[in-house]
Structure 1
Amino acid sequence: MIEMKEVYKTYPNGVTALNGIDIHIDQGEFVYIVGPSGAGKSTFIKLMFREERPSKGSIIVNDRDLAVLKKRKVPHLRREIGVVYQDFRLLPKLTVYENVAFALEVIEETPKNIKRRVMDVLDQVRLKNKARFLPDELSGGEQQRVAIARAIVNMPQVVIADEPTGNLDPETSWEIMHILEEINQRGTTILMATHNREIVNTIRKRVIAIEDGSVVRDEHRGDYGYEI
């Protein structure tokens, strides 16, 4: 469960990125975050995994209030939240297997469990046959699938995807969306910031639209709603 109550975010330069956000997202929902550039979407996403802290208000994620969460507890929070970035952020000198395994090694999971879990998620994203490849030997879509595998290997309750199809061609974007849908169908909450009008209008989910730091629309099975 995710809940924001009267959330404001003002940066030191005086710019207010979020202006009194109130939302409630139930476990298992798939939610698109849409809006024009500069609307506050990136700040909204960063607050969800404590890359940023709110200036005011509360953010409850998995029963933790991120506004007051102690810094030493942030790594524990992030074990429960998978994050997928537009630019993949893979470790270039590690293989596909090692990139995904790294997320489990940092929490000192046993080698046996690491191997089993990594191969399970690589199978889920259809990359089991490329476990020994380096990132630069993969296509952009394959790199994004590795990033998704890394995000879900800890079996998080929430996956946050920040423009996950932004650097991909249309065909590959649909492949990524189908994988995210499968993850969601297994009970994981998905929050996806996107500018992809076609995807939002075709795969209908809940749409939260942000403009000038405020939620201006919150619709189940909504559409993109902006001209691009």
Structure 2
Amino acid sequence: MIEMQKVTKKYSNGIIAVNDLNINIKHGEFLYVVGPSGAGKSTFIKMMYREEKPTTGNIIVNGIDLSKLKNKQVPYLRRNIGVVFQDFKLLPTLTVFENVAFALEVIEQRPAEIKKLVMEVLSLVGLKHKVRMLPTELSGGEQQRVSIARSIVNKPKLVIADEPTGNLDPETSWEIMSLLEEINLQGTTIIMATHNREIVNTIKHRVVAIENGRIVRDEQRGEYGYEG
């Protein structure tokens, strides 16, 4: 599913965000990425969907060698990758339905199929009754549910979630985690960067800890391992 071999990312300012990193992630896994702020977690996950490119090393995602991928091919890579952001990144002038449908319109899906798929996924996230609302009319938790719906409407093999509970209250965070668990049980690989100690320690999955751009711990059913 995902393989990184001797991956290093050095930015133009000299900062080495990821340093000689090696990892294998299998199809269907649920992986937490933890570590201090500035450790390289965001760079690590952004390289998986080619938001960032490694300085050296190889990254293979869904059988595609990203080092050989031309820029014009990146949108096709991302058709099989859903991304969930901490700040939702919803389009404020579009309704709930339109925000989710947009992910299908850009790949030129047929209108009838778009309606069917959007309603299916909004039913899954519990927002079928709010299709006509704008993001500003929703709570933070509801906005994140829309973000998750948008990320999975194309039935991707991989969902990457960057601090998906970071802006949410504890109760809503657990609801979002329940939703991600359900998606994972359907066979989708989930990679989630998080600072939420309680979630990691309660809902056990593989834990990869990154410090100073290196993997310092990789444990099945691991603990968060940091204070806070």
TM-score range, shorter chain: over 0.9
1:61 corresponds in structure 2 to: 61
Letter of the structure 1 residue corresponding to residue 97 of structure 2? Y
How many Å separate the matches in 1 of 2:16 and 2:106?
35
In the TM superposition, 1:62-101 aligns within 5 A as: 62-101=62-101
Q: TM-score, normalised by structure 1?
A: 0.99
How many Å separate the matches in 2 of 1:217 and 1:67?
26
Letter of the structure 1 residue corresponding to residue 70 of structure 2? K
Letter of the structure 2 residue corresponding to residue 213 of structure 1? G
In the TM superposition, 1:130-209 aligns within 5 A as: 130-209=130-209
Deviation at 1:45, TM superposition (A): 1.0
How many Å separate the matches in 1 of 2:107 and 2:143?
23
1:28 corresponds in structure 2 to: 28
In the TM superposition, 1:9-20 aligns within 5 A as: 9-20=9-20
Deviation at 1:67, TM superposition (A): 2.0
How many Å separate the matches in 2 of 1:78 and 1:173?
26
How many Å separate the matches in 2 of 1:140 and 1:73?
33
Deviation at 1:202, TM superposition (A): 0.2
CA RMSD, Structure 1 to Structure 2 (Å)? 0.5
2:123 corresponds in structure 1 to: 123
How many Å separate the matches in 1 of 2:175 and 2:216?
30
Q: Using the TM superposition, name which of 67-76 and 154-163 deviates more.
A: 67-76
How many Å separate the matches in 1 of 2:25 and 2:79?
19
Aligned residues: 228
1:45 corresponds in structure 2 to: 45
How many Å separate the matches in 2 of 1:197 and 1:186?
25
Q: TM-score, normalised by structure 2?
A: 0.99
How many Å separate the matches in 1 of 2:93 and 2:12?
37
User: Following superposition, which runs of at least 4 residues in structure 1 exceed 3 angstroms of deviation?
Assistant: none
Deviations 1:91-144, CA, capped at 9 Å, x for gaps = 000000000000000111001100000000000101001011100000000000
Structure 1: runs of 5+ lacking an equivalent:
none
Letter of the structure 1 residue corresponding to residue 9 of structure 2? K
Deviation at 1:68, TM superposition (A): 2.3
How many Å separate the matches in 1 of 2:19 and 2:205?
24
Query: SS of the residue aligned with 2:200?
Result: helix
Query: SS of the residue aligned with 2:68?
Result: coil
Structure 2: runs of 5+ lacking an equivalent:
none
In the TM superposition, 1:98-109 aligns within 5 A as: 98-109=98-109
Query: SS of the residue aligned with 1:156?
Result: coil
How many Å separate the matches in 2 of 1:101 and 1:118?
6
Query: SS of the residue aligned with 2:67?
Result: coil
Deviation at 1:65, TM superposition (A): 1.1
Letter of the structure 1 residue corresponding to residue 154 of structure 2? N
Sequence identity percentage: 70
